[in-house]
Amino acid sequence: MRHVLSALVQNQPGVLAHVAGMFHTRGFNIDSLAVGETERHDLSRMTFVVHGDEAQVAQIRKQLDKIITVVQVVDISSEDFVERDLMLIKVCCPAEKRAEIALLVETFRGRTVDIQHDNVIVEVSGTEGKVESFIDLMRPYGILELARTGRIALVRGHTKGIAE
């Protein structure tokens, strides 16, 4: 089963390496990982997507809780949450295909961020499914490069703040 974990960690050097090391030594795989500073400069949010049963995810949470620089870990999978994935994709785009590709970009509410003589770079954000669908539609044109952020997520509505 797919789980989305949200962890608040101290914003300091080495935290990501420490957390990733814990996953590695315990044999857990991370499907997606995104890290960024929060509204507080001293904290960062790590969003993990992992696959496992309830017992495995409970074990991951327990292990994360043991790390001193981890402030809070929440499995938000059962919550009502918003998640997004950001992607940049460079696609072959000869002049005669530009209108076709532009229509697909518009349909997916994407944005063309660079145009060259024979390729374009497009930005698309949304759910994992939306991003995957766009990738599938771009394959016939020839994907030259692709970069994704990994999933980020927040629970909808008002949630309890960080333990203060």
| Structural contact between residues 46 and 35, judged by C-beta atoms closer than 8 angstroms | yes
- State the first-to-last Cα distance of the chain, in angstroms, to the nearest integer: 32
Residues near 87 by beta carbon (within 8 Å), at least 6 away in sequence: 123, 124, 125, 131, 134, 135, 146, 147, 148, 149
Q: How far apart are CA 25 and CA 67, in angstroms?
A: 14
Superfamily of domain 82-152: ACT-like. Chain A, domain 2 (3.30.70.1150)
Q: Tens digits of per-residue pLDDT, 142-160?
A: 999 999 998 999 999 876 6
Full-prediction pTM beyond 0.75?
yes
Question: Percentage of the chain surpassing pLDDT 90?
Answer: 80
What is the domain partition of the chain in residue ranges? Answer: 2-78, 82-152
What amino acid is encoded at 54 in this protein?
E
| Average pLDDT of the residues in 87-104 | 96
Q: Tens digits of per-residue pLDDT, 36-80?
A: 999 999 999 999 999 988 898 899 999 999 999 999 999 999 899
CATH 3.30.70.260 assigned to domain 2-78? The reply is: yes
Domains 2-78 and 82-152 share a fold: yes
